[in-house]
Structure 1
Amino acid sequence: MKGTIICYGDSNTYGYDPQSLTGGRYPENICWTGILQEKSGWLIKNHGVNGRCIPHNSSQIHFFCEQLRDWCKIKGPVRIWIMLGTNDFLTETGFTAEDAGNRMKKFLQVLVQQQEINNREMKVRLIAPPPVKRGAWVDEERICREAEKLDKTYSKVAEELNMDFTGTGDWEITVAYDGVHFSQEGHRKFADRLLEILYNKPE
């Protein structure tokens, strides 16, 4: 085993099945995290939560810091992959890519600070979520336009904080009727692209 990758995200990391009426998830072998587990040689820890926004209030930050302390105790190399921002657009009126970038930067600065406090450095990769599309959950073209800007916005944040970055805006990930959640094909394609990163760029 090469080490541990903690995938910290929302429902598209959790593996939410948009056909489920109870918040269920796809089988592990369908979810991109499960495919990575099977094919990458890394231990993949799925820390996706349905509805999660970029942590920004005191309770969210406190809970994350508690999780981070636990991750710092994991033996061997640990990587943290973060993919968030979609729910911020969906739940906050007028939220922009710039707002997401500012919120993400503050959150990542907390992460860096907590790593220093815990005396444990874990390599971070910021992943921009694939853009949403018009659908049952997305009824504003403005949201689609702002989501498309995340690649550029997050790239700047990652550069400022000296972190790895992955843009997904041109991956053409297929989503379900709601315009948000990956289809089964979308999960497979997303996993394939991330595997390319692992294979082509040593972690």
Structure 2
Amino acid sequence: MPGTIICYGDSNTYGYDPHDQMEGRYPKDVRWTGILDTETEWKIENHGVNGRSIPHTVSTVKFACDQVRDWHRRPNSVWLWVMLGSNDLLENPDFTAVDVAKRMERFLKRLMEEAGLASRKMKLRLIAPPAMKEGAWVDRPELLVESRNLGKEYQRIARRVGVAFTDASGWDIPTIYDGVHFTEEGHRKFAEKIREEIKI
């Protein structure tokens, strides 16, 4: 087995399904992380959390750093994929893509101080989330614009910080009625696109 990929994200990594009244989650074989776990030789660990924004408070950053210390003990190579930013836009009406990127840059710089990432035993990849679409949660034109702009802003900080980057902002991933969460088809398409882009 090549190693482990830690997928650190929000509800679109978790696999949120509003139609599931029990767990509120698509089955593993529907989620993009589960598809990659089944169809590649990598061990894919899903660390998505519904509602997660980019860690920026003392407690959330500390918890993320504690997790990194644990993850770097995994055998073989370890990749950490970070895909966040949508909730930061949704929760902060005045935020632009630039504001979100600044928050992400501070977070990544702090993570990279941890031994696993500082030594390059772990490798970090920043993923710009797919752009939102018009829907029940996306009722302001500026949300559409700023979510599309995350890709170019994240690319800039990935270069500055020195981490790998994947821009999913232009992938046109199908969403449910809210304009934010992936449909089942969206999860399949995301898995296909990320395999094409990263060649795992």
Q: Please give the TM-score of this superposition, normalised by the length of structure 2.
A: 0.95
Asked if the contact 2:83/2:128 (under 8 Å) is kept, the reply is yes
Q: Which residue number corresponds to residue 123 of structure 2?
A: 123
Maintained 8 Å contact 1:4/1:42: yes
Give how far 1:23 is off.
5.6
Describe the SS at the equivalent of 1:149. Answer: helix
Q: Which runs of 5+ in 2 are unaligned?
A: none
| Matched residues, number | 200
TM-score of the superposed pair, with normalisation by structure 1: 0.94
Q: Does residue 107 of structure 2 align to residue 107 of structure 1?
A: yes
Contact 2:148–2:170 (Cα < 8 Å) also in 1: no
Distance 2:120 2:128 in 1: 25
The residue type equivalent to 1:60 in the other structure is T
CA distance in 1, matches of 2:18, 2:189: 17
Structure 1: gaps of 5 or more residues: none
Which contiguous aligned blocks of 4+ residues in structure 1 show a shift greater than 2 angstroms? Answer: 18-23, 115-121
Q: CA deviation at 1:119?
A: 4.9
Distance 1:96 1:38 in 2: 37
Per the alignment, residue 45 of structure 1 pairs with 45
Are 2:30 and 2:184, in contact at CA under 8 Å, matched by a contact in 1?
yes
| Equivalent runs, 1:2-41 vs 2, <5 Å | 2-21=2-21, 24-41=24-41
Q: 1:118 to 1:125 in 2, by over 3 A?
A: closer
Aligned pairs for 1:47-66 within 5 A:
47-66=47-66
Q: Matched residue of 1:7: which SS? A: strand
User: Where does 1:71-110 land on structure 2 (aligned, <5 Å)?
Assistant: 71-110=71-110
SS at match of 1:113: coil
Measure how far apart 1:19 and its partner are.
Answer: 2.2
1:97: Cα distance to partner? 0.3
* Alpha-carbon shift at residue 4 of structure 1 (Å): 0.2
Deviations 1:154-197 (A, max 9, x none): 00010111111111122110000000000000000000011113
Q: Write the letter of the residue equivalent to 1:100.
A: V
In structure 2, C-alpha distance between the alignment counterparts of 1:75 and 1:15, rounded to whole Å:
26
Is the partner of 1:110 in helix, strand or coil?
Answer: helix
Measure the CA separation in 2 of the matches of 1:78 and 1:7. 11
1:97-144 Cα shifts (integer Å, max 9, x gaps)? 000110000000011111368856311110000011121111111111
Could you say which residue in structure 2 is the equivalent of 1:191? 191
Give the % identical residues. Answer: 50
State whether residues 85 and 100 of structure 1, in contact with CA within 8 Å, keep that contact through their aligned partners in structure 2: yes
